[in-house]
């Protein structure tokens, strides 16, 4: 299975003029890969992840998953947003259980057991009866991540999922994400939007750098050939880590754009 993007263009009309956000994007993500999208604000990262999720239609080009066109949201793809997007009137358990029943009706009778498995995996089973407003932002995002894995997607799409969290909470969630992906789920592909250079290097197998207009959207694709599991303390001393960090800084500086 591969997630393929071919000749993708997407624009928005502003003051009567068409402004292109994505310009000729070509990308292929293979099973077992975590690919990060990085670039300045306004370069189209979030738009691209929404196109991959079927939430936004491209103006030209195509997205296919295992050869099938992506034209709408579907249970084979799950998304996690920076804003958590939990249902406020439901408990953490019911947020996860409801998502399973909606996305996988054939597993309705198993929803409780599946929800328990993933809430336990992120350390939230004891808080299962609390509502979102009764827990911290980190706990809400852990619930959102558990919910996404619980619907058993083939592709997990992450739009800056840790951007609103403090550094310590972010580090814990990064580790939990990788642990869930590699040992608790059948999810084959992860695509993540991030602003963080260190986060991209720590988590990714490849990093796709998106630039601002008027040039092509994809300005660089950087393989991350660091062995897993990756320890954040020791990995920063790896020469390959430093090499990627320098390359990213150079590429991003060369394609500076105004923040949106």
Burial of 74 (0-12, 13-18, 19+ CB in 10 A): middle
Contacts of residue 49, defined as CB under 8 A and 6 or more positions apart, other chains included, come to: 37, 79, 157, 158, 159, 191, 193
**pLDDT at residue number 213:** 85
The predicted structure's pLDDT at residue 52: 97
φ, ψ of residue 111 in degrees (nearest 5) = -55, -40
Radius of gyration for the chain, computed over Cα atoms and rounded to the nearest angstrom: 18
Q: Which two tokens stand for residue 188?
A: 């084959």
How far is 249 from 22, CA to CA, in rounded Å?
22
Residue 257 and residue 41: Cα distance in Å, rounded?
A: 8
Q: pLDDT tens per residue, the chain (260 residues)?
A: 899 999 999 999 988 888 999 999 999 999 999 999 999 988 999 999 999 999 999 999 999 999 999 999 999 999 998 888 899 999 999 999 999 999 999 999 999 999 999 999 999 999 999 999 999 999 999 999 999 999 999 999 999 988 878 888 889 889 999 999 998 888 999 999 999 999 999 999 999 999 988 888 999 999 999 998 888 888 888 999 999 999 999 999 886 544 33
Place of tokens 């991209």: 200
Asked if 9 and 228 touch (Cβ cutoff 8 Å), the reply is no
The class level of CATH for 74-187 reads alpha beta
The structure's pTM equals 0.93
Question: 39 in helix, strand or coil?
Answer: strand
Q: Mean pLDDT score of the chain, rounded to an integer?
A: 92
Give the pLDDT confidence score for residue 255 in this predicted structure.
61
Q: Which residues belong to CATH 3.40.50.300 in the chain?
A: 74-187
Are 145 and 122 a contacting pair, CB within 8 Å? yes
Please give the share of the chain, as a percent, with pLDDT higher than 90: 77
């Amino acid at each position: 299975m591969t997630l393929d993007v071919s000749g993708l263009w997407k624009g928005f009309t502003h003051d009567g003029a068409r402004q292109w956000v994505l310009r000729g994007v070509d990308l292929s993500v293979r099973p077992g890969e975590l690919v990060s999208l990085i670039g300045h604000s306004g370069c189209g990262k979030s738009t691209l992840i929404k196109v991959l999720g079927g939430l936004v239609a491209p103006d030209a080009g195509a997205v296919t998953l295992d050869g099938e066109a992506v034209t709408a949201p579907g249970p084979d793809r799950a998304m996690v947003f920076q804003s958590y997007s939990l249902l406020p009137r439901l408990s953490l358990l019911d947020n996860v259980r409801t998502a399973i029943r909606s996305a996988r009706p054939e597993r309705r009778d198993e929803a409780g057991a599946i929800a328990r498995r993933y809430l336990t995996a992120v350390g939230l089973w004891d808080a299962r009866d609390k509502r979102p407003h009764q827990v911290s932002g980190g706990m809400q995002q852990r619930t959102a991540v558990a919910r996404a894995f619980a619907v058993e997607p083939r592709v997990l799409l992450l739009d800056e999922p840790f951007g609103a969290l403090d550094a310590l909470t972010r580090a814990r969630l990064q580790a939990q994400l990788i642990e869930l992906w590699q040992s608790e789920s059948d999810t084959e592909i992860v695509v993540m939007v991030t602003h963080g250079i260190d986060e991209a290097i720590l988590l990714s197998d490849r990093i796709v750098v998106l630039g601002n207009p008027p040039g092509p959207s994809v300005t660089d694709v950087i393989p991350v050939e660091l062995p897993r599991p990756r320890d954040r303390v020791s990995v920063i001393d790896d020469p390959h880590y430093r090499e990627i960090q320098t390359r990213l800084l150079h590429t991003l500086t060369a394609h500076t754009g105004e923040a949106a």
